[in-house]
Structure 1
Amino acid sequence: METLRQAISAKASGEGFAAMRIVRLSSDPQQALRLQRFIAQGRHGSMAWLADTADRRADPLALWPEAKTAIVMAQNYGQDLDPFERLKDRGSGVISLYALNRDYHDMVKGKLKRIAQWLKHRTRAEVKVFVDTAPVMEKPLAQKAGLGWQGKHTNLVSREIGSWFFLGTIFTEAEIAPDAAEEDRCGTCRACLDVCPTNAFPAPYELDARRCISYLSIEHDGHIDRAFRAAMGNRIYGCDDCLAACPWNKFAQASREARLMAREDLKAPRLADLLVLDDVAFRALFSASPVKRIGRDRFIRNVLIAAGNSGEPKLVPQVAALLEDPAGIVRAMAVWALSRLMGEPAFASLRKERIGSETDANVRREWETA
């Protein structure tokens, strides 16, 4: 007779999940302590929501005291693309592999809801589903469930499917036999730490988000420190370097989920085409994409940094046009990009012409320090 666990596994496989594991929910004082230390050190940067929800994140039972079990599932988003090869064409922008098609949140949540409703009908126990946006520490849960382990880059790694996957979780009041926790298999390897362009890992298993290109280009809505701009290269949304360097990804495969397969127009979009996007065009290009959530101004900020790193003077006209942009953050990065693309005499002349009319303090600072 088929067990409940076998039935759940079959449902997960039928929905296209690459792996499924089960864990008994319980408090974890060590996990709470690690989170408190991370926030106390300010390594969460401007992500105030992490601090605001710290109490609930530290203990899954604080979110739902009646829950007994978590079912953790992995949705593969691997692509037939070499992340490091993409960085070589400085005239194009690099968008993180996970964001090359549709936003995963609604898609994964839809799959989880179907499984959860089936589970509720079978067990008569209440269920809730979570995909990334709720105050759930999904990676520690996944490690306890045996789906993988948190590597030295703090991301989850599976010896079966690598690390190109999203996590989705079903909480239930039903008691289901748990799987064994996974052990750390990083060994002496430090490839993920050494490859980081901005040295965002103060130590193995520790991340300072304030130095992470994914944080800077997606979560951070202000001006990006000069110390990190050159290191960003042509990355315009996220960074895949620490994942791509992991040798366990030799077991990764390309996703078979059509909604996650890379769109041709996003594999290597030309910077020249992206620099001319207004808000309407930006929303049209990234409709249903996770890129859309950062907004046009923050995105163009990133594209301008990539333009400044491109070494392509032919981009000067498109960049110069953005000196008239309504958004100060865009004008400021246009100044920085021009300082890298124009010869010194030409840029000095432009600075003399423009600096007196600039009212935004941050933009003036870029003119003065470029």
Structure 2
Amino acid sequence: MKASVIFPAPAAQVETSSTSGVADAPHASLDAAALAALATRIKTWGRELGFGRIGIADTDLEHAEAGLQAWLDAGCHGDMDYMANHGMKRARPAELVPGTLRVISARMDYLPQDTDPATWRAQEDVRQQDPNAAVVSVYARGRDYHKVLRSRLQQLADRISAEIGPFGYRVFTDSAPVLEVALAQKAGIGWRGKHTLLLSRDAGSMFFLGELFVDVPLPVDVSLDAGEFCGQCRRCQEVCPTGAIVSPYRVDARLCVSYLTIEHKGAIPEALRAKMGNRVYGCDDCQLFCPWNKFARPSPLTDFAPRNRLDAASLAELFAWTESEFLERLSGSAIRRIGHERWLRNLAVGLGNALRAAADETARAPLRAALTARADHPSALVREHVAWALAQEGVSP
């Protein structure tokens, strides 16, 4: 998932990319015509680096502050304390990175290169209907997107520097203190959908966002109004398995499968386990059924191609991975950061749901065997979820 004012993307972290603070920078003498020409070149370089769209915004996000504070006050961030740690700096780019004048917002599409735009959503839906399938969010099946975006944004910064000389900047890739959707909306890349993700008329929402905070007064792009093209559609709310989209443009993270499987460190609330189905890392439902994602685009990059059968593996197959196998196979993956313990927790819930849905002993036996093999796991968290899963046998679906 991608970051938003309402709910942050999975794997949100404070970015560590360097900032080039420059006094008396050469670019200070650029006139309006030169800045406009530079903005055009930046967008061209962005396309060459694999970005689907580049937009430029100013740093005024005052309109987003009240909504952010209300969301935090309501506790919708769950135990993601980092969401509140920066206070309103999250909505104030020039305070977060002093000297920032503009934000270069970048969109990177992430559907794998060989995706068929006409059939991929139906194929994903079919897989979700198979209780034994381990469903991992599309964005997490390939290389860790933080690394891909960070590298490409750094290359973009290098091209700007080669053009105008040293300048002040900071790279953010799905980073905690940044209101990525609000900035991308101001930059004209898209509008906030009712699921809180950014939507684009020509790319749906299957993309990542990244930013360059810069001290160069580039001309800004025209922003889009929030929800301008969602109209009366409520499909994302209707299909959310746990009812996490509590109202248009607000997600309660405490109910969200992405939060529960990625950010949440403790036991998954029992009342939500059955609703999670076979989703073991993230959840794409609100995107799969969004009409705008018929326009989602395959990535021009190879980085997001599925690895380790994460687009085809069964729950039992992944549950059998040892910790060393988990660490080795998911090296370079965003999934690795949740650790083997939470990986097993998530898979145990999926196996329990599959066991409940199994029609006969032939279907139940391998699920029961997989779970029983972990019944004495050293982790109390894993043991609890395995015990719950085994108890699902015989429970009415």
TM-score (norm 2): 0.83
Contact 1:23 1:178 in 2 (8 A): yes
Please state how far the C-alpha of 1:238 moved relative to its aligned partner: 0.3
Instruction: List structure 1 segments (4+ residues) > 6 angstroms apart after TM superposition.
Output: none
In structure 2, the partner of 1:349 is none
In the alignment, residue 194 of structure 2 is paired with which amino acid?
A: K
Match of 1:108 among 145, 149, 152: 149
2:104 aligns to what SS in structure 1? strand
Please give the residue correspondences for 1:89-128 in structure 2 after superposition, counting only pairs within 5 Å: 89-124=130-165, 125-128=167-170
Match of 1:320 among 350, 355, 372: 372
Match of 1:43 among 51, 57, 76: 76
In the alignment, residue 9 of structure 1 is paired with which amino acid?
A: K
Contact 2:59 2:92 in 1 (8 A): no
1:5-29 CA-partner distances (Å, limit 9, x unpaired)? 2211110011010111111222x33
Q: Which consecutive unaligned segments of at least 5 residues does structure 1 have?
A: 345-370
In structure 2, the partner of 1:182 is 224
Q: Which has the higher helix share?
A: 1
| CA distance, structure 2, for counterparts of residue 35 and residue 170 of structure 1 | 22
In structure 2, the partner of 1:72 is 105
In structure 2, the partner of 1:355 is none
| CA distance, structure 2, for counterparts of residue 153 and residue 325 of structure 1 | 37
| CA distance, structure 2, for counterparts of residue 262 and residue 279 of structure 1 | 20
In structure 2, the partner of 1:4 is 38
| CA distance, structure 2, for counterparts of residue 94 and residue 134 of structure 1 | 26
Please state how far the C-alpha of 1:309 moved relative to its aligned partner: 0.8
In structure 2, the partner of 1:360 is none
1:166-207 CA-partner distances (Å, limit 9, x unpaired)? 001111111111110012211111111111010012211111
Q: 1:182 to 1:204 in 2, by over 3 A?
A: same
Please state how far the C-alpha of 1:264 moved relative to its aligned partner: 6.2
In structure 2, the partner of 1:357 is none
1:202 aligns to what SS in structure 2? strand
| CA distance, structure 2, for counterparts of residue 194 and residue 342 of structure 1 | 29
Match of 2:248 among 199, 204, 227: 204
In the alignment, residue 51 of structure 1 is paired with which amino acid?
A: A
Give the number of equivalent residue pairs. Answer: 343
In structure 1, the partner of 2:25 is none
Q: Which has the higher contact order (CA 8 A, sep 6+)?
A: 2
TM-score (norm 1): 0.89
In structure 1, the partner of 2:26 is none
Please give the residue correspondences for 1:52-67 in structure 2 after superposition, counting only pairs within 5 Å: 52-67=85-100
In the alignment, residue 21 of structure 1 is paired with which amino acid?
A: G
Please give the residue correspondences for 1:307-346 in structure 2 after superposition, counting only pairs within 5 Å: 307-310=351-354, 311=358, 312-314=363-365, 315-341=367-393
In structure 2, the partner of 1:133 is 175
Alignment RMSD, CA only?
1.6
1:208-230 CA-partner distances (Å, limit 9, x unpaired)? 00000000011001101111111
Q: 1:231 to 1:201 in 2, by over 3 A?
A: same
Match of 1:305 among 325, 349, 352: 349
2:100 aligns to what SS in structure 1? coil
1:126-172 CA-partner distances (Å, limit 9, x unpaired)? 12111112411111000011101111000000011111000011111
Q: Does 1:273 align with 2:317?
A: yes
In the alignment, residue 71 of structure 1 is paired with which amino acid?
A: I
